[in-house]
Amino acid sequence: MCGIFLCLDRSNVQPVTTAIKDLLRHRGPDSQRHISFRLIRHESNDTLEQGWDSANHGSVHVSCVSSVLSLRGDRIVAQPITKEVDDLSLGKSSFLCWNGEAWSFGGAAIRGNDSSHVFNTLCHIAKICRDSSCEFPQVALAEAIAAHTGPFAFVFYDHLSHRLYCGRDFLGRRSLLYKRGLDGSLYISSVPDDRDGWQEFEADGLYYVDLDLSGASSNFDLQRTPYKCCDEQYASLRYTQIGTSSKEARLAVLFSGGIDCTILARLSHDILDADESIDLLNVAFENPRVHGRAVSSGRSPYEQCPDRKTAESSLKQLQAACPNRVWRLVRINVPYTEFVAHRESIIDLIYPHNTEMDLSIAAALYFAARGQGLAEDQSLYKTPARVLLSGLGADELFGGYTRHATAYNRGGLSALQEELALDISRLGKRNLGRDDRVISHWAKEARYPFLDEYLVNWALSASLWEKCGFGQPCPMDDSGTELDPAKMLLRCLALRAGLGSVSNEKKRAIQFGARTAKMEVRKTKGTQLLTKSQE
């Protein structure tokens, strides 16, 4: 996972804070590069030129830091990526900061380093637009970005047009924030360095800033052009080819034992080399409010967590279905004192999300992504995997939440359809940016197979009875129990894949399964804000 920070200021180069540098290094430990330069307008002409000059009508100071977690290609490609490194610090070259994965472009799989591909593509289109005097280059660039499949956030500076472009993929699977300084400066970052003023970019198009120096005191106004959907026939490449076969785990699953993550683990078995282990990261918390009696009686608070019990059961199903695969259940036990020690860091990372529910969900993901726990023999173990699979998106696509059943009971299939459409429309705003910031803190990259563009496109066009079983006769599981209608498609898939009891697992929110909800004895609600007094 890569990290991005950029600042535009009219007066001077804004120093990059130590906090930002440290947070970006956590996200991308393989490389970090810092550039700064000034754009000025010379008195002698009416065109923008780069360089220093004592007589000018205004200037823009650009400061940028980008870090890299390298996963693709045969070498580390440092960022900001540019064609001419020497020209980069002078502002005489375009540059790209890329946080994410581009699986394919226009339906063709991308091989090698994807950030280089994206940079070269954007530079090529920007040059064509200038040479042809294109009136709306932002539209062409938005179409090019939308033709890439995969999760991403980026900042691209086009030195030919003196425009800065930025944005997130249309589902918002990667984090990108912005805020305004008191002097009108503009900050863009993957992570916040404080809890004041940061907002998430909407996942609704390409944003851009014209660095027009005709008015030196004007603000850096963000403009937007919407994405255009790619051709429906484009199927994205599901997994990246990384290196040579190894018995060491390169892939881990955020594993509660529920149907979504267990299916992902089972499908991973069909794709990975036979001698490669798969790590299943299961997190459980000591919650004083819930576990007081368990601890006093000598019972482990972690083994009493619902997700730990489900994970143990689902592990047996995976082992039975795929006996030759090495499945490693990593038991990540988090004492209450350790949660308290990391609480402030988690709150900083999730901002501008700032409710008790945000904290309880993020805490589970934060410690799970760290990947540090106990192996089967109770020895200490830390996953070497940099890629983490998440089942997020399955509930939104296939009707897995309790409110979906409630909507159906209230208003039938039409009410259910409206509820599903609402969930998909707000995915980027509700969850993904927040989750990206806490997972990436440990130099891990989360991937969401259920949010693959091709699968989302299919799910949105499929009829309700192809996805869930509300209002229809439900088949039976291996024990003769009628399947839950929620996410019926996945339940049938689990049965076909040999995951008997997994097919009828009920939906359980992560904060309740891992016992991060209401960690303190005082009464709180999930919607309650994390105020200064509570921090």
How sure is the predictor about 15, in pLDDT bands with cuts at 50, 70 and 90? confident
Taking alpha carbons only, the member of 125, 3, 150 closest to residue 70 is: 3
At 313, the amino acid letter reads S
pLDDT over 90 percentage in the chain: 68
- Tell me the H-state helices in 387-481: 394-398, 402-425, 427, 433-440, 453-461, 464-467
The strand order across the sheet containing 223-225 reads 95-100, 152-158, 163-168, 206-210, 223-225
**What does the pLDDT look like over 84-109, one tens digit per residue?**
766 665 567 899 999 999 999 988 99
How sure is the predictor about 41, in pLDDT bands with cuts at 50, 70 and 90? low
How many Cβ atoms sit within 10 Å of the Cβ of residue 535?
Answer: 11
Q: What is the mean pLDDT of residues 239-253?
A: 63
* Whether pLDDT at 292 is above 70: no
Q: How many helices (H) and strands (E) does the chain have?
A: 17, 22
Taking alpha carbons only, the member of 175, 150, 207 closest to residue 428 is: 175
Residues carrying an active site annotation: 2
Task: Please give the mean pLDDT across all residues of the chain.
Answer: 87
Beta carbons within 8 Å of 124's beta carbon, 6+ residues apart: none
Angle at 274 between CA 271 and CA 277, to 5 degrees: 90
For the full predicted model, state whether its pTM sits above 0.85. Answer: yes
**What does the pLDDT look like over 421-466, one tens digit per residue?**
999 888 777 889 999 999 999 999 999 999 999 999 999 999 998 9
- Residue 88 vs residues 66, 96, 141: alpha-carbon distances, Å: 13, 11, 21
Taking alpha carbons only, the member of 66, 172, 74, 170 closest to residue 119 is: 66
* Whether pLDDT at 235 is above 60: no
Strand partners, 282: 331
Quick one: pLDDT at residue 91?
61
Q: Which of 39-48, 212-221, 381-390 has the lowest mean pLDDT?
A: 39-48
Look up residue 356 and give its two tokens: 């008790």
> Where is pLDDT greater, at 178 or 246?
178
**What does the pLDDT look like over 474-489, one tens digit per residue?**
888 888 889 999 999 9
Q: Which of 147-151, 203-207, 475-479, 508-512 has the lowest mean pLDDT?
A: 475-479
**What does the pLDDT look like over 61-85, one tens digit per residue?**
999 999 999 998 888 999 999 887 6
Half-sphere exposure of 25 (CA within 13 A, CB side): 8
Q: In whole angstroms, what is the distance from residue 208 CA to residue 198 CA?
A: 18
pLDDT over 70 percentage in the chain: 88
Give φ, ψ of 323 to 5 degrees: -70, -20
Q: What is the mean pLDDT of residues 239-243?
A: 39
**How buried is 532 (Cβ within 10 angstroms: 0-12 exposed, 13-18 middle, 19+ buried)?**
exposed
